Structures are given as C-alpha cells and as structure tokens.
Amino acid sequence: MSVDVNEYLESLLTDLGACGKFQLLFYCLVYGSMIPAAFSVLMMTFGGIEPNWSCNWLSKNGQLLNTTSQMMCNPDNSTHEAVCVSKTFDSSLSTIVQKWDLTCDREWIVSTITTIQLAGLLFGAIMSGQIGDSFGRKPTFFVSFIMLFAFNLVAAFSVSWQMFAVLRFFIGIASGWYLTIYIIFLAELTSMRYRSGIVAFPAWPIGTMIFGLFCWILNDWKNIQITTAILCVPWLIGLCFVPESYRWFVSRNKINEAHQVLTKIARLNGKSPPDFVKLCDIIAFTKTENTCDRKRTVVDILKTKHLLKDTLLLNVCWISCGYGYFAISFGVKQLSGNIYLNIVFLGLVDVVQICVSFIANKIGRKRTTFIFFAVAGITGTVVGILQFIDLNNKGQLVNGFAFTSKMCVNSGWISLIILTSEIYPTVVRNVGFGLNNSIARIGAMTAPQLVFASKHIPGLSYLLLGGLFLFSCICVVFLPETNKKALKDTIDENEGL
C-alpha cells in the first residue's frame, strides 16, 4: 500500500498545477538565494589571490640593498644575508594576502583558511541533514540564510587572519546547511515530470558568473563580504512566504498541516484543493511506518542493507565530486589568462548542466552520471599529464581540458544529486542527502592543500581527480535507477534484497 501512497503524493502536485504561480514564486526565491550562497562558498577564490608585490631588502649590517625583488622571498642575485623590511603590493586589487601579508613562509595560511571553511561545510551538511528531517525543511532553510547574512557581515571587519579563519568556518557551516536543504526542498515540492530539470537548473553557475563580475567591479575582499551579506536580505524576506514541504508534514503524521500547504498551492495555481478525507484514508494505511513519531537518524540508513549499500557507493562518488569541483575552482589562479575571466568562464561552462535534466530523463540518472564522470576522469588525467610536458600551446591545452573537466564534474554532480535525492525515502531523505553532502566536504577539504602542493609537484591535483572519477564510474554501475519512479516515503526493509 505504501507504493500507492507514494504515487498519490506524487500525483497531487500534478493535479494542483505542476507549473503554476506557486512554482514560479517558489523557484525564483530558491534560485535567487543561490547567488549569496555561491558568493559565500567561492569568496576565497578571489580573497586568496596573491597580488604582485615587491620587497625592499636590508642587510644584517643595516645596509639597504640596491635590489627590489619581484615576488621573491629571498634577495635576487645577492650574496648578503638580508631581511625584507617592506613589501609593496599591487594596489589594483585587495585580498586577504595583502591585508595580512600571507606570503612566503606564511603562504600556507591561505590554503588552510580555505580548508577550515570547507570543514565548516562538512559540519553544516551533517547538522542540516538531521535538523531538516527533525524540524522541517523551511525553518532549516531559513536559519541557514540568517547565518550567511550574519557571519559574512562580521567577517568583513575581521582584525586578524585568525578571526577571519574562524568566521570562514561558520560561513562554511551556514553554506553546508543551505546546500543540503535546498535540494530536498526543491525535490519535494516539484512533480516527477519536472524534478530533474528543476534540480539541474544552473542557478549555481549563474551565481558563479555573477561572483566573477562582482570581483572584477569591486576588486576588494572586504566589499565582497559586505555585498554578500546585503544580497541575503531580500531572499530572507521572500522566504517568509514559502510553505513547508507537505511531504515532511505527512512523514510526521501532521495531515492537517499537509492539507493546508496543498490548499495554499491549489489556491495560488487556481486549482481545487485535494480531498482531505481521501488524503487521511490513504495515509492511514502506512501510519505505522510512514507517519511514526520517532525521529529518524543516520542509524536507520546504516541498519538497512540496501540503503547502506547505496550510501557507501554514493559516498565514493560524492567525495570525488567535492574534491573535483573545489580543486578546479580554487586552482583557477594556476590556469592561464585573466583571473576574473576564468572565474566567469568556470561558471559559464557549467551552464551546460541545464542539459543534464533532458539527458537524465532520456537515458536515466545512472547512465548520465556515468558518462559525465568518465569524461571528467579522462580530461582531468590529461591535464595532469600535460603539466609534466613542455609544449608550445601548453597553456591553451591545459585550459581547454581543465574547463571541460570542470563542466563534466559539475554536470555529473548535478545528475548524482538528482539520483541521491530520489534514492532515499522521505523519512530519511534529508539525513541521507546531508550525510553524502558532508562526505563530499572530506574531498573538498583536501583540494586546497593539494592545489597548494601542485605548485611544487605539477599535475598532482588533476591526476588524483582523474583517478577518483574513473573509480566512481565503477560505483555508479551498482546504484539503482530512479528515473520515472515515484519518490518513496517509507523505508522498505525488504527492498533491494
């Protein structure tokens, strides 16, 4: 009977208007909120840039040397032992490197701050997964935005790199919180026919391109932080009018509240509300499983054989995506060309993810994920090999293959997100998605360190990227297909056995 409930809950959105005024308002608010979220996550791609600088040297006997080295940590062509008495940074841009002189023996601080921020994303994803399933999608979503606003604003007035690092950690928590809950929110309030297209809409790449343009215009890390906080305000106000997921109400045995949400959707779309008695009768058949009062946790996933198997396979894929995305994003300054154009172009190549929904609907979620992962792995490996070879057009080749790899990493991740959100039943959907989202941050946390190491070991980060994605292709083969299937609301212990 649970299958009938799943199909009935799916059909409600279609009957109430799958593409009406409610959906238009809801999608605009959620997609718009992605802009400050993207700014928050990607700030260090600009804030960690090392501007051109020069150093004036003073010998131990107090003599000012007649040499000014360009971005050299030791005096060039000098036999004297000397110390740098002053540094002159390029005034055309302001980053945290310039603010707190994070060069030479302090260069490691930049990648460490980025890793600290990504550790925050890990904790945020874990917290959001459990909180979203326990207290609802809407309050979890709303709180994440309050945190993004507050921590971005305070970070702009940091008085030391240590204070800035702590605040980046909390910004990471807010970002991980947001990135976990928004997908589930979208999936549960979108009908089956449009779900993959809605989840695959390139809101994040658009946010990335806007971020690149703002970096070019503002050219100042502090102003970018303040701008990010300001951009949170209108979406905070708009989110007050977004209802809770009716599926979550049903999973918590709050049928009256679920019917109120469905009635609101029907009213905005000019449709008749669903029959309350019929809703109650159908839900009653699965009351012991679907509407139990016990709060679900990750333990419910780990003790269910088919969910445990799927989760372990998904974990490998999510680690690869987390590493791949951030390795290329934070390594953008190592690519050839203008840093601002590279940031914008990284977003532009990801706009192709809009095609993911059509491909995923046509050939399935699994096959789509497999294809993009395979291309990402191959092109990433090619970039790693090219960085060992001396070629005339090496810069153009590296850029071309790196951007292709980035496009496939992001597109494959979008397809994986669709697959993941549909594999888990409603009672543990946010917990399961949050678990995988947090696992992805383990891969992401290693990315800044390996990008830093790649300055001394060329090709290291991209060779690892290629290997991870090719291995993930094997894992995808053993995952279930979810295309054109109703979202499940209960844990079926016998499924997959």
Residue 338 has pLDDT above 80, yes or no: no
- Is the pLDDT higher at 491 or at 222? 222
Mean pLDDT computed over 425-446: 84
What type of residue sits at position 157?
F
pLDDT tens by residue, 257-276: 988 999 999 998 888 888 88
Q: Which residue has the tokens 């036999």?
A: 79
Residue 122 has pLDDT above 90, yes or no: no
> Given CA atoms 131, 137, 139, 144 in this order, what sign does their dihedral have?
positive
pLDDT tens by residue, 361-414: 889 889 999 999 999 999 999 988 987 887 777 777 887 888 888 888 888 988
Q: Are 489 and 5 in contact (CB under 8 A)?
A: yes
Q: Are 336 and 413 in contact (CB under 8 A)?
A: no
Residue 198 has pLDDT above 90, yes or no: no
* Count of C-beta atoms within a 10 Å radius of residue 169: 20
Mean pLDDT computed over 26-46: 90
The pLDDT of residue 133? 78
The pLDDT of residue 291? 43
Helix (H) or strand (E) holding 84, with range, is strand 82-89
Q: What are 111's two structure tokens?
A: 């990648």
Q: Measure the CA angle with vertex 128, ends 406 and 29; round to 5°.
A: 70
Q: Which residue has the tokens 């888990």?
A: 424
The pLDDT of residue 342? 64
C-alpha torsion 139→144→145→151, nearest 10:
140
pLDDT tens by residue, 228-252: 999 999 888 887 888 888 888 887 8
pLDDT tens by residue, 279-313: 787 777 555 444 444 567 778 888 888 899 999 99
Express as a percent the part of the chain with pLDDT over 90: 25
Distance of CA 478 to the CA centre of its chain: 24
Domain with CATH 1.20.1250.20 in the chain: 2-49+107-477
> Given CA atoms 104, 406, 199, 352 in this order, what sign does their dihedral have?
positive
Domain 2-49+107-477, CATH homologous superfamily name and number: MFS general substrate transporter like domains (1.20.1250.20)
Backbone angles phi, psi at 286, to 5 degrees: -115, 25
Residue 3 has pLDDT above 60, yes or no: no
Q: Could you give the strand order of the β-sheet that contains 82-89, starting from the edge strand earlier in sequence?
A: 64-70, 53-59, 82-89
Q: What are 349's two structure tokens?
A: 């190549």
What type of residue sits at position 444?
A
- Number of C-alpha atoms within 13 angstroms, CB side, residue 277? 0
- In angstroms, how far apart are the furthest CA atoms of the chain? 92
The pLDDT of residue 224? 95
Mean pLDDT computed over 79-99: 80
The pLDDT of residue 228? 96
Distance CA 122, CA 441 (A): 5
Task: Quote the mean pLDDT of the chain.
Answer: 83
For every residue of 303-358, DSSP letters joined together read: TSHHHHHHHHHHHHHHHHHHHHHHHHHHTGGGSSS-HHHHHHHHHHHGGGGHHHHH
